[in-house]
Structures are given as structure tokens and as C-alpha cells.
Amino acid sequence: SFVSGLLSCRHRNLMGKTSLVRRRSKKYKLVKKCLVKSILKHFLSIPPAFGGEKKSMHALPEFVWWIKCIYEMQDSDLAKQAVRRLEVDHLKLTYCGIGPVECTALAYVLKHLKNPVGLQLDYNSVGDLGIEQLIPCLDICQSIYLRGNNISDQGVSKLVERALDSCNLQKIALYHNNLTDACTQNFAKLLKHKDNFLALRLGNNHLSASGAEVLAEGLKQNNSIQYLGLWGNKIGDAGACALAAALENNTSMLWLSLVGNNVGSHGARALASMLKKNTILEELWRKKSADETKNRS
């Protein structure tokens, strides 16, 4: 990546003499060709999707290195050329050591994708700063998965602000971060104003009854969301009652997880009463099961 940066246009003046500029031009073309060839080879190795499944690419660490090299070149034509043959529905970059610097490079390249993609960055080091760096490519994301990335309410504020202006972004997963009730104001706003939003997963954070009550206010004005995961928080009976009241007349929610939230008999009765009126909800999880443990969010 150092060589790529040295050969970039912004360092042209460092070369000085004309002969050095000519040599730089040759080396630049060689590096550019090598980067494009390497990334295209990686894309061609992606196995085809089976049946009705989405085509997914689980990127390897060297893919991130190539992306950083392309960013260092600061050549938008190179970035476009590099991803022009990337035809996947889901790009998986879990456990790849991605921090804010890598997020900057990813956004620079991925914003040139032709078709929307699901971006999975679970268990990296994105953080709040990384969220800000990803903003330029969020318009091309259908979904973004950021489980275990040390993201706080501040990062959520930036994410939701951009999501409200994005036509494509429909799913957000933030399981196992550092979110508190303060973030629910942003998500309630998202639910109220984004009419194509489908899934929100906030499991294993620090949400209480007051946070659930704020989310409930957003749910009352939303008829698009299908999946809401609140596994492993502390919403208790009061939070469960607020959500139950909000979902009585909801016509879109298919799946709701409240496992591990200290929901007792009072909350359970409220949820049961809600189910008598809501005939759309297909799955409601209050207690842990094998499937819920596997899919918790």
C-alpha cells in the first residue's frame, strides 16, 4: 500500500525530473494492472449461488489489503474498474481486522458498485469513527451488519442520519455493541420516517424499559418492519407491555425476539393479548430455545 500511495497522482510533484515522471507512469500502470487483475481473480473464485439463495462472497484478508492499495492510489477510475465485475448480493468481511482506516478505503471503492449489496462487518473494530468513514458507501448497501464492533449511541446517530436519506438501506444489525436507551430516539425516528425499513437487530446491548417504550412509539407509525431483535437486554415487563401495545394493529412484523429480557407474567399476558389481535406476527420468542440461541440478535 506504501508503493501505491507513492505512485498516486497527489505525490506526482515528489518525482521532480521528467525521467522520473516517465518511470513513475510506467510503474503506475503496472501496479494498476496488477491490482485489477488480483481483485478480478478473487471475484471469479466466488462459487455460484444455489437455488434461491443470494450470491455471497466471504472476503479474505488480502481482499482488504487490495482495497487499501486502491484507496492509496486515489484513482476513481481504478476503483470503478476494480469492482465492475463484482456481482454479489452479500459481501462478508467478518473477523478481518477492519478499523476506521480500512472503512475509509472500503467506502472509497464500494461506493462505485453498480448494484446494492449487503455488507457484513461483524466482529471487527469499526467503532464510531469507522461508521463515519463508511457513510459514502451506505447508499449502495441494502443491509449492514455490525455485530461486535464497539459502537456507541454516537455512532448510531451518524448511521441513522444517513440511513434516512438512503433508498436502499433496509436492514441494520448491531448485536453486541455498547448501545443504551439514548440510541432508541434515533431508531424511533427511523421507524417513523423510513417506510421501506425491514429489520432491526439490537440484541445484547444495554436497553431498558424506557428504551423499549421509545421504540414502541416508532413502531406505532411503521408498517414495513418485519424483524425486530432485542435479545439479551433488560426491557422487563414494562418494555414488553409497551411493545405489545404498539404491535396490536401492526400489519408487517413477522418475527420478534424478547428472549433474555426478564419478561415476567405481566409482560407475557400483554404479549398474549396482543397476539389475539395481531394475526400477522408469525414468531414471538420470550424464552430461549436452540433455534433462538443460534439466531439471536
pLDDT digits (tens, 9 = 90+) for 86-95: 888 999 999 9
d(CA 149, CA 130): 9
| Stretch 11-27: mean pLDDT | 51
Q: Cell triple for residue 16?
A: 521532480
pLDDT band at 15 (very low <50, low <70, confident <90, very high): very low
Which residues are CB-contacts of 138 (< 8 A; sequence separation ≥ 6)? Answer: 144, 159, 162, 163, 166, 169
Query: Per residue in 105-117, pLDDT tens?
Result: 999 999 999 999 9
Residue pair 127/149 in contact (Cβ under 8 Å)? The answer is: yes
pLDDT at 138: 96
Which residues are CB-contacts of 282 (< 8 A; sequence separation ≥ 6)? Answer: 254, 255
d(CA 152, CA 19): 51
pLDDT at 53: 65
* pLDDT value at 204 more than 90: yes
Range scoring the smallest mean pLDDT among 25-34, 60-69, 146-155: 25-34
Residue pair 265/292 in contact (Cβ under 8 Å)? The answer is: no
pLDDT at 73: 85
Residue pair 227/200 in contact (Cβ under 8 Å)? The answer is: yes
The DSSP symbol for 165 reads T
* pLDDT value at 23 more than 60: no
pLDDT band at 2 (very low <50, low <70, confident <90, very high): very low
pLDDT at 179: 98
pLDDT top residue among 35 and 260: 260
Tell me the one-letter amino acid at 118: G
| Stretch 270-274: mean pLDDT | 97
pLDDT top residue among 177 and 77: 177
Name the percent of the chain lying above pLDDT 90.
67
Which residues are CB-contacts of 252 (< 8 A; sequence separation ≥ 6)? Answer: 222, 223, 224, 225, 226, 280
pLDDT top residue among 28 and 78: 78
Which residues are CB-contacts of 244 (< 8 A; sequence separation ≥ 6)? Answer: 267, 270, 271, 273, 274
What Cα–Cα distance (Å) separates residue 116 from each residue in 36, 90, 140, 191? 21, 9, 5, 21
Q: Which candidate, 231, 276, 233, 283, places its Cα nearest to that of 254?
A: 283
pTM for the whole structure: 0.87
Tell me the one-letter amino acid at 259: V
pLDDT at 246: 98
* pLDDT value at 20 more than 60: no
| Stretch 119-145: mean pLDDT | 97
pLDDT band at 11 (very low <50, low <70, confident <90, very high): very low
pLDDT band at 85 (very low <50, low <70, confident <90, very high): confident
Tell me the one-letter amino acid at 17: K
Q: Which candidate, 269, 267, 271, 265, places its Cα nearest to that of 283?
A: 271
* pLDDT value at 243 more than 50: yes
pLDDT at 30: 73
